[in-house]
């Protein structure tokens, strides 16, 4: 794992606003919660429930979909909160690009040919959770 979740040679983002600026500059952009690119390169991606090998790294999109008509920070908060449960002392969020090689069991993109673009401070996930709780209605089913 890279030192304290910081990747050498790329920016370390400390706010949702900084992540939003990166999304405007780099597209498509994804987030992964792991020990970082070096740790990921040393392992094989596998679906934990089935045991099947995955053809790429499981990621979550940071670039909003074209239909998204809200603030980019709202999208980022939602996307970061989707995998926040994966935070651990040896796992942190980092932004990356790459080519989609398939979809995982939760329909998440699976990337190959990845390039690390930035590390994301753990405090950004806390900021995302704070915003998510204020602007979304978790569990609402549209009925």
With a cut of 80, say whether residue 22 has pLDDT above it. yes
Q: What is the pLDDT of residue 113?
A: 95
Q: What is the mean pLDDT of residues 1-11?
A: 75
What is residue 83's three-state secondary structure?
coil
Q: What is the mean pLDDT of residues 69-97?
A: 95
H-run or E-run covering 120: strand 109-120
The C-alpha atoms of residue 126 and residue 143 are separated, in whole angstroms, by 30
With a cut of 90, say whether residue 2 has pLDDT above it. no
Q: Contact at 8 Å (CB) between 95 and 118?
A: yes
- 141 or 62, which is more confident? 62
With a cut of 90, say whether residue 1 has pLDDT above it. no
Which ranges of the chain would DSSP assign to H, the alpha helix?
16-25, 37-41, 72-82, 122-135
Q: What angle do CA 50, 54, 59 make, to 5 degrees?
A: 110
User: Which residues on adjacent β-strands are paired with residue 112?
Assistant: 99
The pTM score is 0.92
Q: What is the pLDDT of residue 3?
A: 54
Q: Is residue 122 very low, low, confident or very high in pLDDT (cuts 50, 70, 90)?
A: very high
What is residue 57's three-state secondary structure?
strand
Instruction: Name the average pLDDT for the chain.
Output: 92
Q: Is the peptide bond before 28 cis (omega within 30 degrees of 0)?
A: yes
Q: What is the mean pLDDT of residues 70-98?
A: 95
Q: What is the mean pLDDT of residues 119-134?
A: 96
Q: What is the pLDDT of residue 142?
A: 66
Specify the DSSP class assigned to residue 139.
T
Percentage, residues of the chain above pLDDT 70: 95
């Amino acid at each position: 794992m890279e030192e304290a979740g910081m990747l050498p040679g790329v920016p370390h983002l400390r706010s949702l606003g900084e992540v939003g600026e990166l999304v405007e500059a780099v597209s498509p952009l994804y987030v992964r919660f792991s020990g970082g690119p070096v740790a990921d390169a040393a392992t094989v991606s596998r679906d934990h429930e089935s045991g099947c090998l995955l053809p790429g790294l499981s990621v979550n999109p940071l670039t909003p979909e074209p239909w998204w008509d809200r603030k980019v920070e709202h999208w980022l908060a939602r996307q970061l909160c989707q995998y926040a449960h994966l935070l651990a002392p040896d796992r942190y969020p980092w932004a990356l690009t790459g080519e989609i090689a398939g979809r995982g069991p939760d329909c998440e993109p699976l990337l190959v040919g990845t390039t690390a673009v930035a590390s994301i401070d753990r405090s950004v996930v806390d900021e995302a959770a704070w915003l998510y709780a204020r602007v979304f209605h978790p569990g609402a089913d549209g009925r």
